[in-house]
Amino acid sequence: MVKILPTVLLSTLAAWAGLVYSEPIPPYLYTRATLEEFIAAESQISITGVLANIGPDGSKAGGVSAGLVIASPSRSSPDYWYTWTRDSALTFKALVERFIEGDSSLQTTIDNYVSSQAKLQTVSNPSGSPDSGGLGEPKFNVDGTAFTGAWGRPQRDGPPLRATALTLYANWLIANGQQSKALSNVWPVIQKDLAYTVKYWNQTGYDLWEEVNGSSFFTIAATHRALVEGAALATALGQADGGYAAAAPQALCFAQSFWVNGYIDSNINVNDGRTGKDANSLISAIHTFDPAAECTDSTFQPCSSRALANHKAVVDSFRSIYTINSGIAQGKAVAVGRYAEDVYYNGNPWYLTTLAAAEQLYAAIYQWDKIGSLTVNSVNLAFFKDIVPSAAAGTYAKGSATYQTITSAVSAYADDFITVVQKYTPSSGALSEQFARSNGSPLSATDLTWSYAAFLTTVERRSGVVPPSWGESANNAVPSVCTAPPSCNSKTTFNVRVTTVPGEDIFVVGSLTQLANWSPADGIALSASKYTSSDHLWYVDIDLPAATAFNYKYIMKKNGQVTWESDPNRSFTTSSGCGSTSTTNDSWR
């Protein structure tokens, strides 16, 4: 066992450098290595893996513009040779935290990221122009140009996530005598993202898995954090608050809507046919973790009763559906996927979601230790009884035997999730996106940047390394009444000319809630009251958000049968200004 760690490190680092190491890595090495040895080796592999995927100097990012992060070097089956706003923001959040902890070598890379994102914010794309929703575009080509293919758009988590990553950096700059740089270089990017967030947070969009068009818990949780810390940063820089402080509590108020039946329903306002038990919520808990917070239910802090009950619900949803989880007892860690109904690549565990289950628990332990106690109650009792069968309701002070028993059990449980990752990590240490539900072999995109970043943050929490506070303690009060932001609508008239016969009716559907989120069953009916033998006009007036880009199509219904007009989707941008008007003039395809 003593020789395993050097072998892993030397072999792996040599492989990354393109060198040849004389002693081959046995395929069972990671199974033989202790957990501590695996963590030490994989941590180095992970930071190397992240940096390899960042342009222009990353070893696997040749031709990628400076500061842009590729999701994966994979260019086919699947093609992830793009830069995603969300993935990049979460990756750089991890890198900025690492920089704050003392890795000064990362500053040039972070500065490149700031510059690259400033450029991306100016690129018009299918989600809109820079001022009409374009910041909600999920991904771009690796040269920073717009990706114009079909995709699930908009995705409203990117701007608040990017704002958070850059706010961490701006706060460091201020604390280290570089306020002018924070104001001139970083704040303009943050300000645009926060303006987008304030304007669009209460509108539906696609979730972080890019599949469900509704209201996503992850997006709302990220929104609340970004607005809270954005308001504080604006004050620190002497800048105007663009409505951030006012919108933050309303986003928090809306977040409470996702707590149903003892767990977080990760996607609401959509009929997706799922239970809602989704690793989306685990990732939310670790993103909004504040080391200075109490175990606050309203913000779903990692140690909160709600977050722990949800952890059990989500993890348990995978226990019986994967072959590799067979025979693992309740209360022991299992491989975790995105959601039980997943069919992407036949639905498998992911490295980053399994790591998220561990990271939440390490964060919870940190919070309990800082608070000085933990509380078992009716909401989280089932979680605790899984790992400590004798657990009973009560508050247990740090230093007590019960506190020690429970926190030791939670720590061991968290370690077990890393052990699952260890078991299914290939001997090279490379982390793909998924591992097979049947035998654990790596699947989908290779060298997934997000997988490596997730490993880094998980082991940092395990070692007690935590990010700066984002101000949760002063911003966790839920308003007594949730108030949606004032609407700013534009009346849009849809005109389409199509020849119909009695019994045939025309509807419009599209990518906005007001257009039924593409649901043909809920399509908006057009009127034929102006239809004549010489002008086959169907029309309808719909109030839509002003200055908003969207996609849409017309459908025909007859006797319960739906006929879609031919591809491609149509696109339109509503006029700017509250109370403005705009008109489409289309012909059925």
Annotated binding site: which residue ranges?
151
Nearest to 207 by CA among 136, 259, 105: 136
**The tokens of 55 are what?**
């342009």
Q: Is 97 a catalytic residue?
A: no
- Write the DSSP symbol of residue 137: -
**The tokens of 296 are what?**
């606050």
- DSSP bridge pairs for 376: 394
**The tokens of 306 are what?**
């709600």
Q: Which of the following is catalytic: 193, 207, 460, 472? A: 207
Nearest to 523 by CA among 479, 481, 561, 556: 556
Nearest to 282 by CA among 208, 342, 210, 387: 208
DSSP string of 138-202?
A: -EE-TTSPBP-S------TTHHHHHHHHHHHHHHHHHHTT-HHHIIIIIHHHHHHHHHHHHHHTT
Sign for the CA dihedral angle at 328, 332, 333, 336 comes to: positive
Report whether the peptide linkage leading into residue 502 is cis, meaning its omega lies within 30 degrees of zero: no
Neighbours of 21 (CB within 10 A): 14
State the distance between the two ends of the chain, measured CA to CA, in whole angstroms. 68
Q: Is 447 a catalytic residue?
A: no
Sign for the CA dihedral angle at 382, 388, 394, 395 comes to: negative
Residues placed in the known binding site for substrate: 151
**The tokens of 354 are what?**
């399994």
Neighbours of 118 (CB within 10 A): 15
Q: Which of the following is catalytic: 57, 111, 210, 241? A: 210
Instruction: Catalogue the active-site residues.
Output: 207, 210
